[in-house]
Amino acid sequence: MKQTLLKYQTQLLAVAVLVGTFIVAQPPTLSQAEQADLSQSFGFAQQPLTPLAGHTQRFIRPVNPSLVHIDAWISSVGAAIALNDLDNDGLSNDICYVDTRIDQVVVQPAQASNARYPAFALDPSSLKYDASTMAPMGCLPSDINEDGMLDLIVYYWGRTPIIFVQQYQGANVDLSSQSYVAQELVTTGERWFTNTGLVSDFDGDGHQDLLFANYFPDGAAILDAKSSRKQTMQASMSRAFNGGDKHFFLWQQTSAEQAPFVAVPDVLSGELNHGWTLALGTYDFNNDLLPELYIGNDFGPDRFLINRSTPGTIKLELAEGSGGFTIPTSKVLGHDSFKGMGVDFSDLNSDQHPDIFVSNITTPFGLHESNFAYVSDPSAKLDQSELPDYTDQSEQLGFGRSGWAWDIKLADFNNDQRDEILQATGFVKGNINRWPELQELATGNDQLLADPASWPRFSAGDDIAGHQINPFFSQAADGRYYDLAKPLGFAPTVSRGIAVGDVDGDGKLDFAAANQWEDSIFYHNTSQNSNQALGLRLRIATDDKASSVTGFQPTSAAIPAIGAHVTVKLPDGRTLTSQVDGGNGHSGKRSYDLHFGLGALDPQTQLEVTLRWRGLDGSVQTSVVQLSPGNHTLVLGQ
């Protein structure tokens, strides 16, 4: 009897310890009243982006016969979106997005109330394009020929990227499908499976280069339903290095009939080159105006590379963080073992060193890894060339857990001088819960994983994280971030990309979310708060004629100043910093305009703004200007 009683007491104690541990491990929450108070400075009106008429819709892709039983998994990516100024009216009020339901890349005005031209699809038919084996995965705006107008680079599964070159120049161009002519980036006829790409001046010559990161191995036949060749999946859940290549292209002057880029082979090799990459990010961490590179890999460690390039030569060196007794290896920069699905940068602690934010899978009772918030040590005394130490503070900040997260963007949506954190979440929407099968797969033998025949079914009707709501994290008075998506009226979606920009020039950031197999959504910022903001449209003069005007204005003979640094000195001595983003993240591309929330500042205040950029000859330029709150267009010269 005593033994039986002791047994039950031991079992009850074990259950109590488990329950107590679970309760302690739960992050703090806000009451409904506290949520309402924190969310009152935000507001968004939602506008769905409906499919173009005349196109057959589908909700899953035909795939290679060896992958048919996991066709929902294979069909889980492709939705992408970009906000930028495509018609040169001075506002980033044009959307380029991939609608997976019709497998088309659509261009349209962001706001239905300001529909300056009808929505249209980019036409690749003048090139070799087979819609039965190819699918668009992303849209990357870039002025590839430096004529002052943004072109569109589209990357795909099943082929190499296509550049859609804009044909007309001027202000307020009337866009249509005739505005763009399709041009090959490379003419090799290779099959790539690209999930992310960006524009950045890797070699510091003053001209923008390109990087595309592939997911499945180059040359695969993933979308070929007639292929007899069996396909290969990842070789591990935590250390898979059998993925596609990273393809770098340096800018070089060519004839108008050719893309102005040359492929640079062997920049990366081995494990660095063959991760299953879902996200890329470039940002200058050491103030030399050469962008460092963050590679976010699925099924393996992310990579952080320091840029040691010179004009005409790309050289990137691997850098990794160091752990400690209290820091798990998986929380150390460059040593995580699972999924980097999105990346963005922000100076969270105002030490003028960028911090790194990474999306991962963090679904309770599903797969629960961790988002990352690699925050720099603000107490470190560093030379400009040095990098600070980074520690993951995602749990302390309340950002460690969200859902099956993809793209991530940090931006100040209420202009209070603090960035919010927005993520795209969700995987496969259906009615049959497949979490048990996925958990079994995730804990299975890596020796079997590469063979798709060893995978359980993930097909039409199955559900894995299919009803999540995109988190909208805002920082409360206690310093932690709390998700306000529900009080802001966000509904469950299966999202992939997020694009951010001030589409109407009202000093409040808007955003758009690319959704998989459903309407993508534009979110117009309707906040009534009276905080001030500084918006900067930075361009580099191609004729060396610098200028400055108030407001967001069209420009001529000028190209986006991608990679330019801006530091804003506030009246109390603190600083806000940012850099012009050339496409960081998974499949969402933000506007090239910079935005700084200023809080309750007198609108007549003169702010000291320091600008640093590379001229078209590669030389480093610096300028200090005095600007008042509001929007400004600055054309930078030599």
169: left (phi over 0), alpha (psi -120 to 50) or beta: beta
**Which structure tokens are listed for 456?**
């359980």
Q: What are φ and ψ of residue 79, in 5° steps? A: -65, 130
Task: Give the integer Cα–Cα distance in Å for 335 and 321.
Answer: 8
Per-residue pLDDT, 321 = 86
Tokens standing for residue 601: 């500042």
CB 599 within 8 A of CB 612: no
Task: Show the beta-strand stretches assigned E in 172-302.
Answer: 180-184, 194-200, 209-214, 246-251, 261-264, 276-283, 292-298
DSSP-assigned letters across all residues of 7-71: HHHHHHHHHHHHHHHHHHHSPP---HHHHHHHHTT--EEEEEEPPPTTS---SS----GGGGGGH
Q: Please, are residues 369 and 360 in contact by the beta-carbon 8 Å criterion?
A: yes
Identity at 294, one-letter amino acid code: Y
Q: What is the mean pLDDT of residues 591-614?
A: 97
Greatest Cα pair distance in the chain: 94
The chain-wide mean pLDDT, for the chain, equals 93
- On whether the CB atoms of residues 632 and 617 are closer than 8 A, the answer is no
Pick from 409, 356, 401: nearest CA to 28? 401
545 against 253, higher pLDDT? 545
The Cα–Cα gap between 537 and 564 comes to 11
- Please write the tens of the pLDDT for every residue from 379-390: 766 565 667 789
The alpha carbon torsion through 591, 170, 98, 103 (nearest 10 deg) reads -170
Q: By C-alpha distance, which of 390, 292, 285, 404 is closest to 342?
A: 404
Mean pLDDT for 244-269 is 90
- Residue 29: pLDDT band (50, 70, 90) is confident
Predicted pLDDT at 504: 97
Q: To which residue do tokens 């960081």 refer?
A: 584
Span 472-508, pLDDT tens digits = 999 999 999 999 999 999 999 999 999 999 999 999 9
pLDDT at residue 338 is higher than 80:
no
Is this structure's pTM higher than 0.85? yes
567-596 residues labelled b (16+ CB within 10 A) or e (exposed): bbebeeeeebbbbbbbbbbbbbbbbbbbbb
| E strand spans, 229-371 | 246-251, 261-264, 276-283, 292-298, 303-307, 316-319, 342-346, 355-359
* Burial profile 128-154: b = 16 or more Cβ within 10 angstroms, e = fewer: eeeeebbbbbbbbbbbbbbbbbbbbbb
Nearest to 466 by CA among 520, 436, 429, 498: 429
b/e code 456-494 from CB counts within 10 Å (16+ = b): bbbbeebbbbbebbbbbbbbbeeebbbbbbebbebeebb
Q: Which of 16-20, 189-193, 427-431, 542-546 has the lowest mean pLDDT?
A: 16-20
End-to-end CA distance of the chain: 90
Q: How far apart are CA 345 and CA 354, in angstroms?
A: 6
Which phi and psi (to 5°) does residue 103 adopt?
50, 45
C-alpha–C-alpha distance, residues 421 and 409, integer Å: 6
Tell me the percentage of the chain whose pLDDT exceeds 70: 94
What's the rounded Cα separation, in Å, for the pair 198 and 9?
60
pLDDT in tens, 369-380: 889 999 998 776
DSSP-derived secondary structure letter, 252: -
Specify the pLDDT at position 570. 96
408-443 residue pLDDT tens: 999 999 999 999 999 999 999 999 999 999 999 988
Sequence-distant (≥ 6) Cβ neighbours of residue 394 within 8 angstroms: 370, 371, 372, 373, 400
Q: How far is CA 584 from the centre of its chain?
A: 5
The Cα 207–Cα 59 span in angstroms is 40
* Strand ordering across the sheet containing 342-346: 342-346, 355-359, 372-376, 390-392
* pLDDT score at 1: 56
Distance, CA of 611 to CA of 564 (rounded, Å) = 7
Q: Which residues contact 397 (CB under 8 A, 6 or more apart)?
A: 373, 375, 479, 480, 481
> What confidence tens digit (pLDDT) does each residue in 151-206 have?
999 999 999 999 999 999 999 999 999 999 999 999 999 999 999 999 999 999 99
Tell me what pLDDT residue 75 has: 98
- The pLDDT value recorded for residue 255 is 66
CA distance 580 to 565: 7
